Amino acid sequence: MKNKPAFAVAVTGFSGIAAQVILLRELLVTYSGNEMTIGLILSAWLIAEASGAFSAGRRLERSPRKLGYFIALTLLFSVILPVSVYYSRFIRTAVGAAPGEGLGLAAVAVSSLILVFPAGFLHGALFPAGCGLYSRFRVKAAEENSRQDIISRVYVMEIAGTVSGGVLVTYLLIPYMNSFEAALAVIMLNITALLILAGSRLPFSVSVRRVVFSALLVLVFFPSLKLMRGLNEKSAAFRWPGQNMVYYGDSVYGNLAVTETGGEFTFYSDGVPVISVPFPDTVEIEDFIHLPLLMHPDPGKVLVISGGAGGVINEILRHGVKKIDYAEQDPLVIEKVKEFSAEPGPGELDREPVKLHYRDGRMVVRETERLYDAVFIGFSLPSTLQINRFFTVEFFRQAGKILREDGVLVIRLPGSLSYLSEEMRDLNAALLGSLENVFEYVRVFPGDGLNIFTASRSPDSVLVSARKSRERLDRIEGVKVMSPEYIRYRHREDRAEDFYRSVRGLSAELNRDFSPIGVYLSQRYINSKFSPGTNRFLDFFTGYSPERAYIPGALLIAVFGAAGYFSKKPLDTAVTFCIGSTGFASMIFDLTLLFAFQAVYGYVYYWAGMLIAFFMGGAASGALLARKKIPVAGAFGNLAFLEAGVIIFAAGLYLVLKIPVDDLLSGPAASALIHACFIIAAFCAGGLTGAEFTLASDKFPAGGRGVIRRAGVLYGADLTGGWVGGFLGGAVLFPLLGLPGTLLVAAVLKAMSFLFLLYCGAVNNYRGSAS
């Protein structure tokens, strides 16, 4: 291999994306998280990387042992990764949670930072170490100028590794390996790269080296594989102490675990129990199914979106329904229900009226030609963008189109018969308003634990008396809770009146695909249980009004003005800020495209991977273009141009998101066009980011601080910006402002950095002419 450092650096890129995905998946199971959690975990990784990059850049600049450092950092990183995976399964106990206790956002933020910091720090340090390595191997001249483009070369190579890593992780590691096995794959690849890098220093011939290294790899691999499998089993069982684990595995949609105790099976999706057979929560299921269906004169065709297995289908079948379409996106769930569970689990799914669809429920709704008497949404809290898609005005409209005139849509939300807390009220009010925006008749059955919402265009299947429902009891058999007395109890008007009195008059924003207020309100509800103080932090942002922006705005201008004026190298300061703010903006763009795609098409895993790959590909292309095509003399002007480009891109994306996509989605040609638009947008966003970074690192002189240190500063700034974007975007901006609002925030920030760049350029010119 001729370009050994290039391969080593590319492997570093691969290792980084693999480590992020592996740890993210593990922590999502630990925390049972949503997009806010993803934002916190990724931002923890980024700040760890930034710290590593900053620290290593300073140390490595003058160190003669650049190869040694690179090898040591790579080995340390490789060992730390499986250790981090192991401890991710214990971290809840480490922060003081009781067995079975969930964690709030604050605890997630702290614990995820502690957990990912070692691996992230080491990986961040590998970027300047890679620059040092490259300068040692590939650049013979000691002149500063000829070393200047090292940063951009290493950046491009690392991106190449990241892109190929993203593809390999998506299609190979995650579907076929557990987290420890995937970590082992990373370790072996890193060892291979190091052997290739350092092997030439050994006094053996090439063929002898090949034999020895191959033997070494085999000797390391097989015992390590056995060790990793043992660690996986042991640490997975720790999550469910005292229970007999019969299955633990991952699909592309998440983690599934099945435990058994005394012949009863509990299915956990990302750590949360979702199915219990053969004794499910009878009250919950019978309420959910029979209260609405007993109001319908004759339900013949029913659609269930998620949550049908484990008793729900069984209850629907009692009504003599002719057709049940059940959409469950993850086939692994159904496979394991059939394999492991007890009745009513397997039997209900094999009955003749039931047809399974292993697809996103929203796609099923969009594409079906059937008309249904009832559509049941099995989710009960729109706490993730993925689930929120089934609680939006846009979805309700789609569902309305596939319901007969007297058909009924049924959803559930957290509730209480004793008292509705503020968070519950807000969430219920928003969803009630969203339903009433689409359906003329909406009725709520308040319940202990869950409120049931029924919505229809006709009063005949919603505004039905208890007496009528009791009369229809004859058509079902074998129910446990549903009785004439129970139906009278659940139809009590005082309960419904109390509920409406609680929620009426609350200013309720509608829940929409691109303005997912349901996610924000769900997060507030979750926070009220686990970390109420976090809601005060979020309230700070909801209390914001433009009139209050003047003082902080003036302060901000003063701070920037002083920073530029008093800085010894104002242009360096401005360039670093540009890179940092573009890091923020590019994270926002990345997340916007992923979330928008998710909102429109559902969690189509491979396409999400493609979007990331095209983003990184755009970054590599932009970097190459900036290296070759832009002269040093034009650096300032071109950077300003790119800054303006980012602002225009943010504004353009904002306008595109305003287009009602649902109306355009019919037909394969339109769908293909929209897919292409997402890919082009991802590529352009990446291109702008890559070009800016290369421009900043290549064409602006590093000066006395040295190339490697400058690499650390710029990379660290990029990562820090990405960290802020991930943290703030995921936790606050997206749920609160929606996608378009968040893009405006990114555009405003870039406008600030653009103006700051011009200002610092002017200060720099003034000082140059004055001297």
Distance of closest approach, residue 580 Cβ to other proteins, in angstroms:
16
Assign 353 to helix, strand or coil. Answer: coil
Alpha helices in 504-661 (DSSP H): 517-530, 532-542, 550-566, 570-601, 605-629, 635-657
516: DSSP letter: -
* Residue 496 engages other proteins in binding (rule: CB under 8 A): no
* Residue 300 interacting with other proteins (CB under 8 A): no
- Which region, judged by CB under 8 A, interacts with other proteins, from 41-49, 262-270, 345-353, 395-403? 262-270
Nearer to other proteins, 205 or 418 (CB): 418
Query: Which residue in 171, 161, 174, 246 sits closest to 28, CA to CA?
Result: 174
CA angle 307, 253, 80 (to 5 degrees): 135
Could you say which of 195, 220, 225, 417 contacts other proteins (CB under 8 A)?
Answer: 417
- Give the nearer residue to other proteins in terms of CB position, either 489 or 541: 489
Q: Which helix (H) or strand (E) holds 254?
A: strand 254-261
3-state secondary structure of 251: strand
Stretch that binds other proteins, among 146-154, 260-268, 303-311, 387-395 (CB under 8 A): 260-268
CB closer to other proteins out of 207 and 418: 418
Compute the distance between CA of residue 202 and CA of residue 209 in angstroms, rounded to an integer: 8
In whole angstroms, the minimum distance from the beta carbon of 315 to other proteins comes to 13
The binding track of 18-37 with respect to other proteins, each residue x by CB under 8 A or -, is --------------x-----
> What are residue 310's phi and psi, to 5 degrees?
95, 15
Measured from the CB atom, is 417 or 640 closer to other proteins? 417
Residue type, position 637, single letter:
G
CB under 8 Å, gap of 24 or more: what pairs does 506-510 form? 506/425, 506/426, 506/429, 508/426, 508/429, 508/430, 508/432, 508/433, 509/430, 509/433, 510/393, 510/430, 510/433, 510/434, 510/437
- Stretch touching other proteins by CB under 8 A, among 224-232, 254-262, 655-663, 707-715: 254-262
- Per DSSP, the three-state class of 459 is helix
Which residue, 416 or 437, has its beta carbon nearer to other proteins?
416
Contact window for other proteins (CB under 8 A) among 206-214, 223-231, 418-426, 626-634: 418-426
Question: Least separation, in Å, of the C-beta of 756 and other proteins?
Answer: 20
339 sits near other proteins (criterion: CB under 8 A): no
Q: Minimal distance in Å, beta carbon 334 to other proteins?
A: 20
Q: Which stretch binds other proteins (CB under 8 A): 384-392, 475-483, 648-656, 756-764?
A: 475-483
Pick 55 or 224: Cβ nearer other proteins = 55
CB of 106 to other proteins, least distance (A): 4
Min CB(437)–other proteins separation in Å: 26
Cβ neighbours, 10 Å, residue 566: 10
In the complex, the smallest distance separating the C-beta of residue 767 from other proteins, rounded to whole angstroms, is 19
CB 88, min distance to other proteins, A = 15
CB of 479 to other proteins, least distance (A): 9
* 631 contributes a contact to other proteins by CB under 8 A: no
Stretch that binds other proteins, among 324-332, 437-445, 482-490, 709-717 (CB under 8 A): 482-490
Token code pair at residue 28: 């999502």
What does the chain come to in residues?
Answer: 771
Interhelix angle 550-566/734-770, nearest 10 degrees = 30
Q: Please report how close the Cβ of residue 728 comes to other proteins at its closest, in angstroms.
A: 14
CB of residue 21 vs other proteins: minimum separation in angstroms?
A: 23
In the complex with other proteins, which residue's Cβ is closer, 681 or 708?
A: 708
Residues 352-381 that bind other proteins (CB under 8 A): none
Residue in this structure with the two tokens 């570093």, named with its chain if needed: 12
Q: Which stretch binds other proteins (CB under 8 A): 153-161, 277-285, 591-599, 752-760?
A: 277-285
Q: Which of 611, 608, 597, 589 is nearest to 692 (CA)?
A: 589
Q: Tokens representing 728?
A: 């703030």
Dihedral over Cα of 114, 115, 120, 125: its sign:
positive
How far apart CA 639 and CA 631 sit, in angstroms, is 12
Q: Which of residues 65-124 bind other proteins (CB under 8 A)?
A: 95-96, 98-104, 106-107, 109-110
Size of the site for other proteins (CB under 8 A): 59
Binds other proteins by CB under 8 A, chosen from 20, 88, 178, 259: 259
Q: Is 148 in the site for other proteins (CB under 8 A)?
A: no
Q: What does 309-351 look like in DSSP terms, one character per residue?
A: TTTHHHHHHTTT-SEEEEE-S-HHHHHHHHHH--TTHHHHHHS
420, 428 contact by CB (below 8 A): yes
Give the per-residue contact string, 448-467, with other proteins (x = CB under 8 A; - = no): xx------------------
Q: Does 473 bind other proteins (CB under 8 A)?
A: no
Residue from 485, 493, 547, 663 touching other proteins (CB under 8 A): that is 485
Closer Cβ to other proteins, 420 or 719, answer by number: 420
Cα→Cα distances 52→68, 118, 125, 146, Å: 17, 9, 4, 26
Residues 740-769 that bind other proteins (CB under 8 A): none
Establish how many alpha carbons lie within 13 A of residue 728's alpha carbon, considering only the half-sphere containing its beta carbon.
17
Nearer to other proteins, 102 or 652 (CB): 102
Q: Which is nearer to other proteins, 381 or 575 (CB)?
A: 381
Query: E-strand spans in 335-480?
Result: 354-357, 372-377, 403-415, 441-445, 449-456
Give the nearer residue to other proteins in terms of CB position, either 360 or 423: 423
Site for other proteins in 497-556 (CB under 8 A): 528-536
| Whole-number Å distance between alpha carbons of 718 and 721 | 5
Q: Which stretch binds other proteins (CB under 8 A): 6-14, 115-123, 241-249, 316-324?
A: 241-249
Q: Is 238 in the site for other proteins (CB under 8 A)?
A: no
Cα three-residue angle 23-25-29, rounded to 5 degrees = 110
In the complex with other proteins, the residue whose CB is nearer, 98 or 142, is 98
Helical pair 707-728 and 35-60, crossing angle rounded to 10 deg: 170
Is 563 near other proteins (CB under 8 A)? no
C-alpha distances (whole Å) from 244 to each of 228, 250, 256, 332 are: 21, 18, 14, 20
Looking at 144, 422, 471, 497, which residue binds other proteins (CB under 8 A)? 422
Does 249 bind other proteins (CB under 8 A)? Our answer is no
Contact 666, 594 (CB under 8 A): no
Taking Cα atoms as reference points, which of 362, 312, 365 lies closest to residue 337? 312
Judge if the upstream peptide bond of residue 82 is cis by omega within 30 degrees of 0.
no
Nearer to other proteins, 278 or 741 (CB): 278
Compute the least distance from the CB of residue 541 to other proteins, in Å.
Answer: 15
Looking at the Cβ atoms of 283 and 473, the one nearer to other proteins is 283
For position 62 contacting other proteins by CB under 8 A, the verdict is no
| Contacts of residue 758, Cβ cutoff 8 Å, sequence gap at least 6 | 640
Q: What is the C-alpha to C-alpha distance for residues 475 and 294, in angstroms, rounded to an integer? A: 9
Stretch 178-207: interaction string toward other proteins, x if CB under 8 A = ------------------------------
Who contacts 10 (Cβ-Cβ below 8 Å, separation ≥6)?
Answer: 157, 158, 160, 161, 164
Q: By C-beta, is 109 or 399 nearer to other proteins?
A: 109
Per CB under 8 A, residues contacting other proteins are 32, 95-96, 98-104, 106-107, 109-110, 241-243, 259, 261-264, 266, 268, 271-273, 276, 279, 281-283, 416-424, 448-449, 480-481, 483, 485-486, 489, 494, 528-536
